[in-house]
Structure 1
Amino acid sequence: MITTLINQDLIKLDLQADSKEAVFNELIEILFAQGRISDKAQFLADIQAREAVGNTGFEEGVAIPHAKSAAVLKPAVVIGVSQSGIDYGAEDGLPSKLFFMIASPDGGDNHHIEVLAQLSSKLIEDGFIDNFINAPSNEAALALLLAEQNQAAPSTPSHTDVANQGFIIGVTGCPAGVAHTYLAAEALQKGATELGYDILVETNGSIGVKNSPSADDIARADAIVVACDKQVDMTRFAGKRLIKTNVKAPIKDAKGVINQALAAPQYQVEQGANPASQAATSANSMASKASDARSDLYRYLMNGVSHMIPFVVTGGLLIALALAIGGEPSEAGMAIPKGSMWNQILDVGVVAFTLMIPILAGYIAYAIADRPALAPGLIGGWIANNGSFYGADAGTGFIGAIVAGLLVGYFVKWIVSINYHKFIQPLVPIMIAPITGSLFIAGLFIFVIGAPIADLMTSLTALLTSMSTGNVILLGIVLGGMAGFDMGGPFNKVAFLFSVGMIASGQTQFMGAMACAIPVAPLGMALATALGRKFELFEASELEAGKAAGAMGLVGISEGAIPFAAQDPMSVIPANVLGSMVAAVMAFSFGITNSVAHGGPVVALLGAMNHPLLALICMAAGATVTALTCVALKKMRKAKLVAVTA
């Protein structure tokens, strides 16, 4: 495959770029010049969208940006070398020097996955990276890439007879299901060969599960290495020597991981567990119980957040684009004229935003109890976000989605753990668990959780109404705090609807304060990710999501901060609340008014606010407070975690 996608004209050994963005542009120019893509801007946007899901910078100076795009005319791989290196946001914090950009047609075959699998075998080859970076010419570099690996017997084997020591099974998978999955697989294969073992590696990639071991394979295996950050069926390995670790471990030391597996105790299935429930309950036996519990909860939340981020980014940027270019201020808020194509783009963005909360809940539940929990998790998230089910003016937002996902996950986990009759057991994952889980979470929200939420919203509205004639500083604290607390949830919605209602009575200062508080959370997270990069406080996916959050904040879309709050609520929510309070209090103090039902810098720039410059200062101050507070809290939590684990 790789020989058909690359030639010496698609290699550049002297990149001039000094930034990640510049690397993208320089490599894209080569693709365009070679007739591989038709639209440079479209392909760049698709590459950046992939980066928003997760940074493609890896260890040892290698980065693999890739995308499936409608702009690709013919699949290709373009390779660039930066001799000085650039800050790409790689996981090891070191500069990236070697770049493989993979262009694959949208709707076509999964060329980028297949190429990644082939590149993996070269990237773990001893000396390949350094030799390629130092290649004297494009021809020499291409020859290195296409050269067959040295098949000579490995030196210094760990066993006296390397002919056939036994058989190992590996399982690899990373959250994005791309590069690390195949790098780990190749590393395990190389390590097993050097130790004299045959090996079969199951890859849980974005194109599905490949090379799954049969029952006979498992029966004859000497040990199992599960190097996976995704949920896998662990029950099938009961009674085998097994080590469970992260996907990066074999990339760093495959032989060490395999030797640990060979010396590990036999894996025991949790009492009453079956493949559906066990997939989400396996824990690293080498970690402490307290660490396992925290790690599992974090993994559940991250599974939901990682699946939600593309919906947040897609919806947020489409809505932002539509409002920024096609929108006009009106009494009802930022509006797009009828008949404009921007209405259709706005509608597509709204669809993505509507789906993001159910996706968050569904994949949290999926992480806990696998596929039987997915449907009830999605349903629970939809109900949680739709207040009409329980008579509230607004849903519970992302907080309700997290609650719904966790409740559904643990409920379904319990349902599938029951010992059913053998004739009923096949119906459990496809019928019994999804139906009972859906009824459970629907009933809980409609009849138990819903009524208090509706009463809470009524009480909050009454509170704001009673405070409207009182101290504006106190009102700014309350209004701003509600705006920043849940980013589209009941507190945010009550504050927004109250402010909109006050416009009708001629009191536009409330909407002025709200308009300044609304963008603080996403703008603050964008700034926090920029400030926190050198402290390694954010995941790679968060660093990319921060850029999208900044764009959303500019047009008043507070939901851009939801992924950050869902992943680390203890640091992010207090920071958002404090920053939003500062912005709202400043807005009241400056006498800022707003006559349209929308917020963010775009409203000030379009002339809907009486003091646009002061309004921008309020927003900037709030965002700065949020960013500094978030970074400080994350540093404190990180230091505490290090102290506990030391």
Structure 2
Amino acid sequence: MNITDLLKKDTILLDLGSNSKEAVIDELVTKLDQAGRLNNKEKFKEAILAREAQSTTGIGEGIAIPHAKTSAVKTPAIAFGRSKQGVDYSSLDGQPSHLFFMIAASEGANQTHLETLSRLSSFLMDDNFRKKLEKATSADEIMEIVNAKEKKEAEDDIPEDAPSTGGNILAVTGCPTGIAHTFMAADKLKATAKEMGVSIKVETNGSGGVKNRLTPEEIEKADAIIIAADTKIETERFKGKPLIQVPVAKGIHEPRQLIERAVRKDAPIYQGSGGSSSSDADAKGRTGFYKHLMNGVSNMLPFVVGGGILIAISFLFGIYSADPTSDQYNRFAEMLMTIGGSNAFYLMVPVLAGFIASSIADRPGFAPGMVGGLIAITSGIEGTSGSGFLGGLIAGFLAGYLTLLVKKGLEVLPTLFDGLKTVLLYPVLSIGLTGLVMLIINPPLTTIYTGLSDWLQALGDANLVLLGIILGGMMAIDMGGPINKAAYTFGIAMLDADQFQFIAAIMAGGMVPPLATALATNIFKNKFTEQERQAGKSNYALGAFFITEGAIPFAAADPARVIPSIIIGSAAAGGLSMLFDIGLRAPHGGIVVAGLVDGNPLLYLLAILIGTIISAFLIGFLKKDLEKE
């Protein structure tokens, strides 16, 4: 599709009569409405003004690109207006604007429309193109200038995925609407980098999704990253890299300065979102099944943690305090139980399934995943709560891969149906297929799930202690890696099945490594550097709040001595927690929720303390003195 398929003579105003920003917007909106491109003039204007409230679309260089994507648009279109005297449009460079392109994108605009609108934004970065528009004397000439530019760009086009010729600078651009600024900044960065002899790859986060996505391998090799965006960008993948973060306008107006900074690595090293817990998904190094599973688990955790802690607090008022028929009844406790148990916990499995499916099939997978997860917990055998966590896992992967199958099957349709696919065909087919399969397989899954739960509940004390030792030790093997996550995920599954001892043992085991390394740096000072002793102080807090990763630097520095030491202590804490018959309804929080355990909280703290002391002294005995090393 060409730009002139959206920009027509009946949407061109060569001489704007307006002398203010709002008047210009009103004049262009009226032009689009008179040309029959809008469903609702007032709603479209509201959408344009709402976008202006986020940040001005007066990008400087005498250009303004007011734009909106809304159901108030009947047909995607572009209106062009020109003001010879110039209008104060609150432009980023403080100069009056002379050229105005109002972009009207419909809610269901297909990919072709969005790419065409974005291409116009890129053209406006060309000085010669703008000068020709300023000098044009008729609407026909405007159309000819645009057509000529498109033809030239098509001849000079270089594929986005062309191999890099050198350099290690990466960039990401994005704006709230994802139509104009995103691509203007990307083109400006690429053009400037070419002038400077610097090779760059730019990922765009536009309304049509992420384009030219940066790969883990490219990020690993990158010297620095530039993010020029006014919208949320996935940044955890850039952990450990020099990261420059600026508004998208900086990418348009200061590309040379940004690239020069990136080449010099003149930027702070990105540390991530701040101390991921043992329950967070790794942002790096995940592929396939594990990646999808952890995407589901990490997005489910806020529901589990928030709901679990609220449930645990309700029990402080009495074990039956949420039951209106009990003498212990307390209205506030009942409210907490309703919020945590009847709502947050109820959403746990559907959210797990939804985000597993969206990890596999992107956004189209989310709805069928949610529906499949809901069926898992509501359509099992009568008298049960369905197949729970197990059913949710299966529903997530089922929905994700069925959605991929649906998307693949619909690729044969003409591009005319692209907009219809996302709003109608994908959801109807993927939700329908996922729902049908889940309704068939959920009863046998429920039998398996309830059987597993009953078997674990029937285990003798000795077997439970052994299982606690294994789970506690697993938490310390890789401290946030796949083994740690496998143990933690098992604990959440059992929490969903009303088996509370397992997550208690797992949390005890996960708290020991950072606490033990902290204690060891205090007791055996001659075995640690000054830097390690300082890091050890912060590990008291990390361990207390169940952030196992605090021990990773110590394990990485001396794995042969530290890792076996913390595994033994974590296993002891997990086993003792089981031996003391400690249960926990909150899957996170560490010391914050220790007082909310089912059982004796002092015995729970004793289990953690014993595990910590065992590991700390093993570390001290095994590590050599610094002088000897």
Alignment TM-score > 0.5, same fold: no
TM-score normalised by length of structure 2: 0.41
TM-score normalised by length of structure 1: 0.40
Question: Of the two, which has the highest radius of gyration?
Answer: 2
